[in-house]
Chain A
Amino acid sequence: MNAPTRRRDTLGIACGAAAAAVMAAFVLLAVFLLGEARSVANPAFLLDAPSRAADRAGVGPALAGTLWLAMLTAALALPIGIGTAIYLEEYASRNRLAALVGSALAGLTGVPSVVYGVAGLALFVRGLGMGPSILAGGCTLAVLALPTVIVTSRVAIRAVPEEMRLAAYSLGATRWQVVRGEVLPAAAPGIVAGSCHALTRTIGEAAPLLVLGAAAFMTFAPHGPGDPLTSLPTRIFAWTTRSEQDFAALAAGAGIALLLVLLLVNLAALAVRRRMRGGAR
């Protein structure tokens, strides 16, 4: 099929126009954000604390909070989630209970994030007495990420050809040797991609943290999980709700900072996948 006949018909032109509109919306969003954030484009913005005076405000504490939350979420959700995926795929017997757990987990991936916030408030902030802390935020985000980590890891593990397992078993490997030596290395790129997806989605969440009671105004950077909850997404929210124009620029700058953090996580995941592919030979 050659190119000219492909594009000439009406449907093609209409769909091309729609695609162009989507592209335009994307460019508009990017250009608008960057343009608005122009005035805060300096390194001090990333380190300074927020201030009532817009020209001296920065995202330092919020950035530190988001990094803490990202680490906690990864440390909690990834081992538990990937471990659960391995158990369900390689160890559990395929009975009704396993099927039920599987479909319940799939259903939980679609639960709105704000609902996890409400549950996190009852379970972690109040129930376990963590208060509105970084720790409570990390636990809540980990629970939010968990179903996605499990479901994507299971898909990656299931994609490993059954012959590979049989070959390893037939060579006298034990279950763990098969899983550790063959299944996990083969599934690793998919598991890393899924974990990265789950993690970046979660780090950008504002709603559940607002529900937990994220500090609206925090002038020092959190030093540990016990410090009050603050994060970039909730900072963006707080600044966006201020009507003064100067604060809008701050919100845009914080948005760019958040996107940079997400970019870094993606690049890290990419680097891990590269190294794995190198090591697989």
Chain B
Amino acid sequence: MTVAGLSGAGSRALGDRLAGPALLACTVVAVGTLVAVVGVLGVETGRFLTQVSPVRFVTEVDWLPVAEEPRFGVLPLLAATAQIAVGAAVFGVPFGLMTAIYLEHYAGARAERVLTAATALLAGVPTVVYGYFALNFVTPAIRGRWPGTEAFNALSACLTVGLMILPTVVVLSRSALKSVPPALMEAGLALGAGRGRVVARVLVPAASGGIVAAVFLAMARAVGETMIVTLAAGNQAQLTWSPLEGLRTLTAFIAQSSLGDAPTGTLQYGAFFAVSAVLLVVCWGLQASGRFLASRGRGATAR
């Protein structure tokens, strides 16, 4: 028997010879495109920061991109984004976490089916529809309660973004609760503790890593949320702590400024990329911290 007897090259079908290169081509296109996305943001941001000093970009408190003497202080936008994300978490996380606990440890089969379907549907609603809901339902309701509220206000956006991130919190914290070994529950019950006590004192702490990750991921989504804040929170780039006043987030600035009109290379055009880069850094930061805290939490449980 010779090597030729085992070479078998003739039996290779056309599919086999084409598949590898074709799939590699897909990968090159995909990775290339995504590199181009990040690359163009980097390049344009870099160009912007040669014209506007990075220090002033992150320390000035005025954001007046189209004024005669434009000012590019990103702080008001950043503060507004933080306010919306934290506000959304304040509303969304408790309800989401408690719903997850209910689903995992209390709900009967039917309640579980209905609630799971409802959260899935909530997750499928486009954010512009949420924005519509915020402006036409939530805001009038708030203004009915506190008549002094501005037509565009942070509270309405926080409530609605909270509703939007709720499915994320429910699904992710539920899977964190699911990953706790059921033996812990049995052990707790065997020690004579009530069900609620075991859940609150043993199971939720054991899942805390995953729950924290869920909260961070949900907040990252809130940071990137655009349509709700654009429609409901208004476009005043101001530093304010009042939830009843309007504000302008990083995302709302990008969406509202009809930047299709800004000529390439101008400061205004560059500002969109710089703000996008800030958004990217904030979102990645939140995701990375979530993952980090989750892995630490898991380590603690394992010990």
Contact = CB atoms under 8 A, between A and B. Distances in A.
Q: Do A and B bind each other?
A: yes
A219 interface: no
A216 B272 CA distance: 20
Interface in A77-105: 79-81, 83-84, 86-88, 91-92, 101, 104-105
B129 A11 contact: no
A115 B27 contact: no
A81 B30 contact: yes
Interface of B is mostly: helix
Given A114-B224, A119-B41, A176 B128 contact: no
A26 interface: yes
A179 B16 CA distance: 10
Given A18-B95, A19-B102, A176 B37 contact: no
A64 interface: no
Contacts of B98: 14-15, 17-19
Interface in A188-237: 200, 203-207, 210-213, 233-234, 236-237
Contacts of A127: 40
A110 interface: yes
A9 B194 contact: yes
A204 B128 contact: yes
B196 interface: yes
A125 B261 CA distance: 12
B243 to A, nearest CB: 19
B255 interface: yes
Contacts of A252: 132, 136
Nearest to A144: B37
A251 B121 CA distance: 19
Contacts of B267: none
A240 B128 CA distance: 9
Interface stretch (B54-62, B70-78, B275-283, B293-301): B275-283
A123 B36 contact: yes
A266 B254 CA distance: 31
A111 B224 contact: yes
A258 B122 CA distance: 14
B41 A118 contact: yes
A107 interface: yes
A274 interface: no
B276 A32 contact: no
Interface string A1-39: 101011101111011111101110110110011001000
A241 B94 contact: no
Given A83-B27, A121-B259, A147-B34, A23 B114 contact: yes
Interface in A167-199: 174-177, 179-180
B226 A7 contact: no
B136 A248 contact: yes
B200 interface: yes
A105 B37 CA distance: 12
Contacts of B15: 176-177, 180
Given A87-B24, A118-B276, A112 B224 contact: yes
A245 B186 CA distance: 57
B278 to A, nearest CB: 10
B82 to A, nearest CB: 15
Given A15-B101, A19-B102, A206 B26 contact: no
Most chain A CB inside 10 Å of its own CB: which residue of B16, B133, B227: B227
Contact of B163 (A6, A25, A80): A25
Nearest to B275: A118
B277 to A, nearest CB: 9
B119 interface: yes
B135 interface: yes
Contacts of A18: 94-95, 98-99, 102
A210 B133 CA distance: 19
A122 B273 CA distance: 10
Contacts of B44: 122
Contact of A22 (B115, B225, B258): B115
B24 A91 contact: yes
Which 8 residue pairs of A and B lie closest in terms of their CB atoms, listed nearest first?
A213-B260, A112-B224, A204-B126, A83-B26, A9-B196, A18-B98, A11-B196, A15-B102
Given A18-B98, A19-B107, A126-B264, 10 more contacts: A22-B96, A23-B115, A80-B29, A112-B225, A114-B276, A115-B279, A175-B20, A211-B260, A213-B260, A237-B231
Interface of A: 1, 3, 5-7, 9-12, 14-19, 21-23, 25-26, 28-29, 32-33, 36, 79-81, 83-84, 86-88, 91-92, 101, 104-105, 107-108, 110-119, 121-123, 125-127, 132, 143, 146-147, 150, 174-177, 179-180, 200, 203-207, 210-213, 233-234, 236-237, 240-241, 248, 251-252, 255, 258-259, 262, 266
